[in-house]
Every structure is written in structure tokens, then in C-alpha cells.
A = this chain, B = another copy of it.
Amino acid sequence: MTTSSIDQRVSLAVSTVIFALRPHPDTGLMTLWLPLVRRIREPYEGMWALPGGPLEADEDLAASAQHTLERTTGLAPNYLEQLYAFGNVDRSHSDTVGYRSSDRVVSIVYWALVRQDEVARAVDGENVEWFVADDLPPLAFDHAQIVDYALARLRAKITYTPIAHAFLPTEFTLADLRAVHEAVLRTTLDPANFRRQALATKTLVPTGTCLQGTSHRPPALFRFEAGAPTPAPEEQR
């Protein structure tokens, strides 16, 4: 009952919403960025789209997302989670007219977190460009809604799951961690209360060392403690 027929006009792709933090060009404040790829064929030729590709026959879904990430940024993700499977019949030709309805595509979309400083500069430039996540150009297909959804999920999840460290090096201060939360959520957070909440999660281990050269009291450095491994597919609460 679960096996499927062979020749259907439905093809399967895996796309990935890749987030990184970098200063906003105008304000200088830390903001979310993501890489897009310029389409080189119809439909939506010339427009920007999420990186991705067809699912290979011998490839796991998450592996496909990882390969896309490697191709686009030159790195492995610090965090990777399935977002949603988008597969409505009409999603290829949403509001643009004039295109013949192409083959139907079901996209399984992942979202990932990487460190901007790790991104290989070399990969950039070709057909890949990074954009401020909240200020994107018009996107191909339904990718704008997908990004919105990924943003919502990231912002929700960072409030109840320790994923912020995925934007940071292995050792970091509580101010660093707080800066990530503030950038993602676009708020300011009380340093005192944030500290207590963060420590209460029991996911931070003090390294014992302090960061030096700060023109003020040296802040303690922490490391992220793995805790229990991921349970079911992904913890989505």
C-alpha cells in the first residue's frame, strides 16, 4: 500500500535554506543572510532561487541537503533539519503567466545553520550570492513562502532549543550567544536574565578560561554540551 507506481510525472528535489549571520550593510547590526542561486533555465530563468537539486537514487534526503550545502558554501552544516515537503500541483507556475506547465516537482526542503566566517569565499560569485534574509529579491517558484516559513521556524526554535551555538565557534562567551539570539529575533535581551536562562538549560560547559583583551572584565568562555542525542527524526515539538 505504501509502494508506489513507477512512471509518474512527479520528480523529487531537495532544497535547502541556509542561514548565516553577518552585519547588515546599512545598520551594521548582525542579521540573518542566506545564499541564493541564479536560475540558468526556464522556468524563472534569471531569477533567484533556493539552492538544491534532484534527489539522487542512492542518496538519503538529509545527505542530499548536505551535498547542496557543500556545493553552495563549501562546508558541512552545523545544524540541519527537515523543514517541510512542498508538493502542491500548481507550485511551479504560481503567479507568473506565460510558462507552459512544466513537470511537477515535489521539493523536500531542509534548513541549515552555518558560520559565515567558514564560508569559502571561492564558491561565492559564480551563480551564488548572499542576501539579507528579511529583504530578498523576488524569488522563483514558491521559494519566498518557503523562506518565510524557514525564518519562522528558526525564530521559534531558537527560543526553546539550544541551536544558537551553530552560528558560533566551539568556544564562545555568553555575550556572543546572546548576540546570536538578538540578531535572529531582532530584539534586545536582558543580559542578566539571558545568562540565567542559558545556564539553566544545562547545555553549556564552562571551559575554565576567560577571553582576554576586552577593555573590561574578561568574560568566561563556554562550550556547547551535546546532551541527549536527537530522538525521533527531528525534534519538532
Contacts and interface: CB of A to CB of B under 8 A. Distances in A.
Interface of A: 1-6, 8-13, 15, 37, 39, 41, 49-61, 82, 84-89, 102-108, 140-141, 143, 145, 148-149, 152-153, 156, 231-234, 236-237
A107 B55 CA distance: 14
A5 B87 contact: no
A156 B57 contact: no
A55 B140 contact: no
Quickly give the copy total for this chain: 2
Contacts of A37: 1
Given A87-B108, A236-B237, 20 more contacts: A1-B15, A1-B51, A1-B53, A2-B13, A2-B107, A3-B13, A3-B54, A4-B55, A4-B105, A8-B11, A8-B57, A10-B12, A12-B106, A55-B87, A61-B85, A61-B87, A82-B84, A85-B108, A145-B232, A153-B236
Given A61-B85, A85-B61, A88-B60, A54 B232 contact: no
Contacts of A107: 2
Given A89-B58, A148-B232, A152-B232, A11 B2 contact: no
